[in-house]
Chain A
Amino acid sequence: MNTIREYIEQMFKGVPVTEETVQLKADILGNLEDKYTALKESGASEHEAIVTVIAEFGDIDELLEEFGVSRVNEQVTKNYETMSESDLRQYIQAKGKMGWNIGLGVLACLTGVAGLLLFLAFQSVLSGALYIGLLFLVGFSVIGIGLFIIEGMKAGELERFSSPYIILPGDKEQFISEQKDYKRSFIFSIVAGVSLCIMSITPILVGALTAVLPILVGVAFSLLLIGVGIIFFTYSGNIWSAYESIKHNGKYVEVIEKETVKHKRNKKVDYVIDEIYWPIIVVIYFVFSFTQGTWAWSWIIFILAGALESTIKSLAGSWDKD
């Protein structure tokens, strides 16, 4: 019986480990063992049974071809993780949830500020409004920052998806076509988010130009609208970037070694952008907005910075090629 098991192990050596191939291997092994047992029961000797079973195994390459996998250098499958379709589906889901929670965190922080402004607006009729307002600010900021921290910690679990891994051709095609289908929702979300941010100027204008509501109340509502708008960006943006990441990091087993060298160089650029570029933009945004009071339109810096990011990346990419 052990001989059969070893034979199957040998046959499946170097085959990418996926849910599908693991099941296939288990099924075939099970069949061969059944066959072996039946032969023994019908009076065959140990040797005869094993020879017959192995002779009836067939040609592994025929099978792998049908499954669309190719056997590779064992080293390659050891060096790189193989992601199954369900792994990647969980990844997209986790990214979406992360985007949603980060958006909620931003909304919570903005709600805190908006609450403070609202109470300040009614300071003349409500004694202690400043303190209630501050309490409001602190409470919501804690929720918001809490969400950031939780999501930041969860991001570590998704680390393995940020370096190259082996993907099966069928799965990659599937995800690329799913991304195409998702494009409409993505564009809709971006348009909705931008519209909300632009609309957010209305309450401020109403506050400034009419007597309907105090300007502070106007700013408060404006912040809330921006907060909701940001959720659209972070949620759909994260799902979109998950698909993009699968497209870039999911590599076919035959080419993964060659393509990874390139990836390592690009990673340095990505690191600079993620760790230095964006924090600087955020700092500029806050400093500028606080000192100049330009909250209504200074968020545009993120759109400009986003546009500039791809330019920087492609410039860095073209330098690399030289």
Chain B
Amino acid sequence: MISSDVIRGYNDTFLLSLLTKGDSYGYDLSRQIRELTDDAYIIKETTMYSAFARLKKNGYITSYPGTVTQGKKRTYYSITENGRNYLKEKRQEWRITKEVVDKLVGGDNK
């Protein structure tokens, strides 16, 4: 399992990226993160909801109450146009970051 320190700056981006596939709610998003990474990264509840609060404050996502399923009324999240633009920037940034880290830390492919 990855330490959450390393990945801290990317939680917001993970959630935005998953929301481009459609609106979703907390448990479903955390499940997707775990499955997509083959259990290598598990997002903590508080980390996820901090990220939601931040994204909402910045206008990158909106939330709405979903219909009641299995006796629970879930809050759904939806990415906004602003969020999509921000995600585009973050993807670009990641491409560069990946190269930089690879060059300095990777090392073994030379």
Question: Which residues of the other chain, A, contact B50 by a CB distance below 8 angstroms?
Answer: 62-63, 65-66
A158 at interface by CB-CB < 8 Å: no
Question: Which residues of the other chain, A, contact B42 by a CB distance below 8 angstroms?
Answer: 56
Q: Given A57-B45, A67-B53, verify A26-B27 contact (CB < 8 Å).
A: no
Total count of chain A residues near the partner, CB < 8 A? 22
Most chain A CB within 10 A, of B25, B44, B45, is at B45
A30 at interface by CB-CB < 8 Å: yes
Shortest CB-to-CB span from B33 to chain A, Å, is: 11
Contact check, B26 vs A56: say whether CB atoms are below 8 A apart: no
Contact check, B74 vs A59: say whether CB atoms are below 8 A apart: no
Question: Which residues of the other chain, B, contact A23 by a CB distance below 8 angstroms?
Answer: 75
B103 at interface by CB-CB < 8 Å: no
Q: Which residue of B lies closest to A34 (CB)?
A: B27
B10 at interface by CB-CB < 8 Å: no
Shortest CB-to-CB span from A301 to chain B, Å, is: 50
Question: Which residues of the other chain, A, contact B14 by a CB distance below 8 angstroms?
Answer: none
Bitwise interface map of A from 173 to 203 toward B, beta carbon under 8 Å scored 1, else 0: 0000000000000000000000000000000
A246 at interface by CB-CB < 8 Å: no
Once the chains are docked, how many angstroms separate the CA of A23 from the CA of B76? Answer: 12
Contact check, A66 vs B53: say whether CB atoms are below 8 A apart: yes
A28 at interface by CB-CB < 8 Å: yes
Question: Which residues of the other chain, A, contact B25 by a CB distance below 8 angstroms?
Answer: 27
| Interface residues of chain A: helix, strand, loop or mixed (majority) | helix
Cβ 8 A contact of B27, one of A31, A59, A60, A63: A31
Contact check, A30 vs B27: say whether CB atoms are below 8 A apart: yes
Contact check, B45 vs A32: say whether CB atoms are below 8 A apart: yes
Q: Report, as a range, how many residues of chain B touch the other chain.
A: 10 to 19
Contact check, B26 vs A58: say whether CB atoms are below 8 A apart: no
Once the chains are docked, how many angstroms separate the CA of A26 from the CA of B50? Answer: 15
Once the chains are docked, how many angstroms separate the CA of A57 from the CA of B49? Answer: 11
Bitwise interface map of A from 24 to 49 toward B, beta carbon under 8 Å scored 1, else 0: 10111011111100100000000000
B54 at interface by CB-CB < 8 Å: yes
Question: Which residues of the other chain, A, contact B72 by a CB distance below 8 angstroms?
Answer: 26, 30, 33
Shortest CB-to-CB span from A227 to chain B, Å, is: 46
Question: Which residues of the other chain, B, contact A58 by a CB distance below 8 angstroms?
Answer: 44-47
Once the chains are docked, how many angstroms separate the CA of A24 from the CA of B54? Answer: 14
CB contact list, B74-92 vs A, under 8 A: 74-75
Cβ 8 A contact of A26, one of B30, B45, B46, B73: B73
Once the chains are docked, how many angstroms separate the CA of A66 from the CA of B52? Answer: 10
Contact check, B27 vs A35: say whether CB atoms are below 8 A apart: yes
Once the chains are docked, how many angstroms separate the CA of A225 from the CA of B37? Answer: 74
Cβ 8 A contact of B75, one of A27, A35, A60, A65: A27
Once the chains are docked, how many angstroms separate the CA of A65 from the CA of B26? Answer: 19
Bitwise interface map of B from 32 to 46 toward A, beta carbon under 8 Å scored 1, else 0: 000000000010111
Contact check, A60 vs B26: say whether CB atoms are below 8 A apart: no
Q: Which residue of A lies closest to B70 (CB)?
A: A34
Question: Which residues of the other chain, A, contact B74 by a CB distance below 8 angstroms?
Answer: 27, 30
Contact check, A66 vs B54: say whether CB atoms are below 8 A apart: yes
Contact check, A56 vs B44: say whether CB atoms are below 8 A apart: yes
Known: A35-B27, A58-B47, A62-B50. 9 other contacts (CB 8 A): A26-B72, A31-B26, A33-B72, A34-B27, A35-B30, A57-B44, A58-B46, A63-B53, A67-B53
- Can you list 23 residue pairs at the A/B interface with Cβ under 8 Å? A23-B75, A24-B49, A26-B72, A26-B73, A27-B25, A27-B26, A27-B75, A28-B26, A30-B26, A30-B74, A33-B72, A35-B27, A56-B42, A58-B45, A58-B46, A58-B47, A59-B44, A60-B46, A63-B49, A63-B53, A66-B50, A66-B53, A67-B53
